[in-house]
Amino acid sequence: MENKKPDHNAIVAKDNSLIPQLAKLDLQELRFLAYCLAHYNSKEVKNRQITARVADLCEFFPMNESSAYRVIRQAIFSLGKKPAEFTIDKTRYLYHWFSGLRYQIDTGEFTFCISPEMEPFLLGLAGNFTQWRLGDVYQFKAASTWKLYENLAQWRIAGRWTVSLDELRLRLGVAGKYPIWNLFRQRLIAPAIEEINTLSDIRVEYHQEKRGRRVIGLLFLIDKKIEDEKTIVLEPPADELLRLLLSHGINAVTAENYSKKIVAAGKTNTIIAQLPEISERAKKSNSMPAYILGAITNILTQTSLFEDSPPPPPPRPDHAEALDCWTEKRRNGEVCPVRQRGEAGQRKKCQICLEKIPVEIFEV
């Protein structure tokens, strides 16, 4: 047995498949689980038996030591009733987090060991896993904040996370609740974002994905805080582009799609440089987002004057001769008999049109 007290730099790590499992846990359970896992090195495969003290846990989390024993006891019992659930090949597996938890009443010590079934999800991690410092979450006062943080931490390297509102409610443990977006935002999202930005190591902003006027999802943009305020960090052009598109009222998913197209076309810096002028012109339009997207589309479809090999012109259609004939007649103010309506079977057509152009092209 080991009794090594973790500090604020202790790392907690989980396989990404465990992140949705947090939805069912309350704040005290999340704190207790994190404190226990902080005793392990997730890169090692050795599953050690650990002994920890309630008094040490109280130093970490804002709880009264006199009530901490009751809180810990309750957390131990409730975690046993909330196993992690997995469905693999139509088989449902329920794995308990720990193989057993012993609580010593007189000394305030508790002993635990990760269950063998959970070892692949918590020990020897080398693939898709999420990790964070214990010191970045210990001040959270709401379970929803903690759960949102862990989901965001999973996407911290990517710098963004797009999620539907239904999936977000599920991951925050409020599935079926807060059906109205404004209520969901006021009660959970806004307070959680404020806590995360104030107390953790990341800074987050979110943008709405809409279908018509209805909000159906969110795009979270995630930045790691810079500890040295004198350090200047240049934002990658692709991230700067996305933020600019979002700041002009463009829908989150649309902004992401256009950002990817612009980056793929190699015109990121071109669009960034021209956006101020485009947005200024867009102020006179009925819809600034639509105008800006239209202007960007024009830029993406233009052929650069400096390209060595411009694409060949499209081949002329089979009916090109008839089309030229029609265009010339219009230019000279002449009436083409092909365009003269008449009763079916009585319409006269010149031989060129009969041979070269389908009737439906001229709508006769």
CA distances in angstroms from 14 to 32, 122, 130, 175, listed in the order given? 15, 5, 6, 23
Lowest mean pLDDT among 146-160, 316-330, 346-360: 346-360
Looking at the predicted structure, is the pLDDT value of residue 202 above 90? yes
Q: Could you say which architecture CATH assigns to the domain 1-138?
A: Orthogonal Bundle (1.10)
Q: Tell whether the model's pLDDT for residue 258 goes beyond 70.
A: yes
For residue 188, what is the DSSP state? I
> Measured between alpha carbons, how far is residue 1 from residues 4, 41, 156, 254 in Å?
10, 15, 35, 54
Taking residues 269-285, what's their average pLDDT? 85
Distance of alpha carbon 161 from alpha carbon 155, whole angstroms: 6
pLDDT value of residue 342? 46
Region 215-233: mean pLDDT is: 77
Once rounded to an integer, what is the mean pLDDT over residues 258-273? 86
What Rg value do the Cα atoms of the chain yield, rounded? 31
Who has greater pLDDT, 130 or 304?
130
pLDDT in tens, 17-68: 999 999 999 998 999 999 999 999 999 999 999 998 888 888 788 777 677 7
More confident residue, 237 or 27: 27
Confidence of residue 318 (pLDDT cuts 50, 70, 90): low
The residue among 147 and 360 whose pLDDT is bigger is 147
- Separation of alpha carbons 268 and 263, rounded Å: 5
Domain ranges of the chain: 1-138, 140-228, 242-305, 320-362
Give the tokens for residue 44: 């090692």
Residue 337 — very low, low, confident or very high, per pLDDT cuts 50/70/90? low
Give per-residue pLDDT as tens, 153-188: 999 988 999 999 999 999 999 999 999 999 999 999
Residue 228 DSSP symbol: S
Whether 282 shows a pLDDT value over 80: the answer reads yes
- pLDDT at residue 115, as a whole number: 94
Read out DSSP for 20-73? GGGGG--HHHHHHHHHHHTTS-TT------EEEEHHHHHHHTT--HHHHHHHHH
- Least confident piece of the model among 33-47, 132-146, 312-326: 312-326
| Average confidence score pLDDT of the chain | 83
Cβ contact 85:94 at 8 Å: yes
> 140-228 belongs to which CATH class?
mainly alpha
Mean pLDDT of 254-275: 86
Question: When comparing pLDDT for 170 and 298, which is higher?
Answer: 170
Strands 11-15 and 129-133: antiparallel
Q: Is the pLDDT of residue 73 over 90?
A: no
* DSSP of 139-179: T---HHHHHHHHHHHHTTTTTEEEEEHHHHHHHTT-TTS--
Quote the tokens at residue 106.
């007189």
User: Which of 10-14, 126-130, 211-215: highest mean pLDDT?
Assistant: 10-14
Cβ-proximal residues to 254 (8 Å cutoff; 6+ apart), any chain: 289, 293
What whole-number distance in Å separates Cα of residue 321 and Cα of residue 351?
Answer: 11
pLDDT of residue 67: 74
Neighbours of 292 (CB within 10 A): 23
What are the backbone dihedrals phi and psi of residue 348, each rounded to the nearest 5 degrees, phi first?
Answer: -100, 140
Q: Which pLDDT score, from 0 to 100, does residue 90 have?
A: 84
Structure confidence at residue 242 as a pLDDT band (50, 70, 90): confident
Please check whether the two domains, 1-138 and 140-228, share a CATH topology: yes
Burial of 223 (0-12, 13-18, 19+ CB in 10 A): middle
> With bands split at pLDDT 50, 70 and 90, how would you rate the model's confidence at 339?
low
